[in-house]
Amino acid sequence: MKFYKNFVLFIIINFSALAIGSVLMNDGPRTAWYKNLNQAPWSPPGWVFGLSWSSVMLFFSFFMTYLVQINKSNKVLSLFVLQFILNIVWNYLFFNQHLIILGLINIVVLTCLMFYFFIGYKHQLNKKRFFVLPYCLWLVLATSLNLYIALHN
């Protein structure tokens, strides 16, 4: 029963991050500023972002639930909070403030943090650590998109 309570809690927190980020981006992907940027040829269609982020957060909620069951340290919770903040702030920096380079720095730090989760807790989680891999891979793609925009605009 405790697993399900923690899982629901992480679902609420992670999807709240998506909601807050959406509000802070201030309609960013639909603005003339964003539409007029030189974007990477491998940029997926807009609907893919919502579907991907929803899937990523679902899997990440499983990951965090398993992780806090075996490791309730302040470090784990602090890293989770840092991930939450970085995830939200990127939307504000990139879409709202048009700070492409700061957004890139932010997303690189977030990507490194998520790979730390994947690698740093491999012995504690074993195969369950793969629940965070979709987040890592999605961030690699997102980072490449941000980098392309930074280099070509």
At residue 1 the predicted structure's pLDDT band, cuts being 50, 70 and 90, is confident
Tens of pLDDT, residue by residue over 81-131, are 999 999 999 999 999 999 999 999 999 999 999 999 999 999 999 999 999
Looking at every residue in the chain, the average pLDDT score rounds to 97
Domain ranges within the chain, ordered by starting residue: 2-25+48-152
pTM check: above 0.75 = yes
Using the structure block, give the residue that is written with the tokens 């890293």: 79
Q: What pLDDT sits at residue 144?
A: 98
How crowded is residue 90: how many other Cβ atoms within 10 Å of its Cβ? 25
Tens of pLDDT, residue by residue over 24-42, are 998 889 999 999 999 999 9
Determine what percent of the chain is predicted with pLDDT higher than 70: 100
Q: What is the mean pLDDT of residues 57-77?
A: 96
What token pair was written down for 86?
């970085």
Determine what percent of the chain is predicted with pLDDT higher than 90: 96
Average the pLDDT over each of 70-74, 107-111, 145-149 and give the range with the smallest value.
Answer: 70-74
- Nearest CA among 47, 146, 41 for reference residue 101: 146
Q: Are 106 and 44 in contact (CB under 8 A)?
A: no
Q: What pLDDT sits at residue 72?
A: 86
Look at residue 15 and tell me whether its pLDDT is greater than 90: yes
